[in-house]
Structure 1
Amino acid sequence: MLTQEQAQQLAYQWVEAWNSHDLDEILAHYTEDVVLVSPVAAKILDDPLGTVNGKEALRDYFKKGLEVYPDLKFELIDVMWGLFSVVFYYINQKGSKTGEFMEVGSTGKITKVIANYNG
């Protein structure tokens, strides 16, 4: 079970990792069997399902994402938390808003991501 403090700490560490562009730091937040579903993944990977399965595939996707968006930067707007999940709501370097629903396992690492964008 997540507490509000744990959810907020995860969010701040996650944003800090992304803003550092340190792939290992970013991936440290995910389990080996993570699943990510995202319209951006569909575009970057040229896969209409936009689904990434497993940490190694996630590494490849995130690496491509950092190459496609070298000025990538996130600004956290809000963190919403549940018993076993969080939603990170943030603005990216282009000013687009994103909401990412994430399931969090018992280890405190992210097991599933559903990304939603406004533009």
Structure 2
Amino acid sequence: MTYKEADALALDWIDGWNAHDLDRILAHYAEDVVYASPLAVQILNDPTGEMRGKAAVRDYFTRALAAFPDLHFELYHAFAGVNSLVISYKSVRDLIAAEYFEIGDDGKFTRVQCHYRESA
């Protein structure tokens, strides 16, 4: 992945969230994606914070958009890797987020790990 490709992918993902367009967001995810997030612990009331499969991720994203109706992300950085992408952005509740995405041969996210910290 080039830096330019990383930026384009991150911007499309952010734009999907900012438009609250669930189908656009989910277009980036593989059917068998494994997704983990500390926010999912709260929203889904699941101590593992982990989801398996696109249907489970869709349910979580639907709940997240309902929980944060004014959701608006601001992209800070996109980092290109080998079959991976890391993005940092301003998330909900003024949290700073960093997400790690493993990318399959078809360009879809196969594994996602979300990380958060309070803004300074």
TM-score, normalized by the shorter chain, greater than 0.5: yes
Corresponding residue number in structure 1 for 2:66: 67
What SS does structure 2 have at the residue aligned with 1:13? helix
Cα RMSD (Å): 0.9
The aligned amino acid for 1:107 is D
Corresponding residue number in structure 2 for 1:48: 47
Corresponding residue number in structure 2 for 1:107: 106
Kindly tell me the number of residue pairs found equivalent between the two proteins. Answer: 118
Q: What is the distance in 2 between the residues matched to 1:55 and 1:95?
A: 27
| 1:6-46 CA distance string (max 9 Å, x none) | 21111010000000001111100101001111100111111
TM-score w.r.t. length of structure 2: 0.94
Corresponding residue number in structure 1 for 2:116: 117
Query: How many angstroms does 1:73 deviate by?
Result: 0.7
Corresponding residue number in structure 1 for 2:32: 33
| 1:29-76 CA distance string (max 9 Å, x none) | 101001111100111111110001100011000000000000111000
Is there any run of 5+ residues in structure 1 with no aligned partner, and where?
none
8 Å contact from structure 1 (residues 3, 83) kept in 2: no
Identity of aligned residues (%): 46
8 Å contact from structure 1 (residues 32, 55) kept in 2: yes
Q: What is the distance in 1 between the residues matched to 2:105 and 2:8?
A: 15
Q: What is the distance in 1 between the residues matched to 2:22 and 2:107?
A: 19
The aligned amino acid for 1:55 is K
Of 103-112 and 91-100, the range deviating more from structure 2 = 91-100
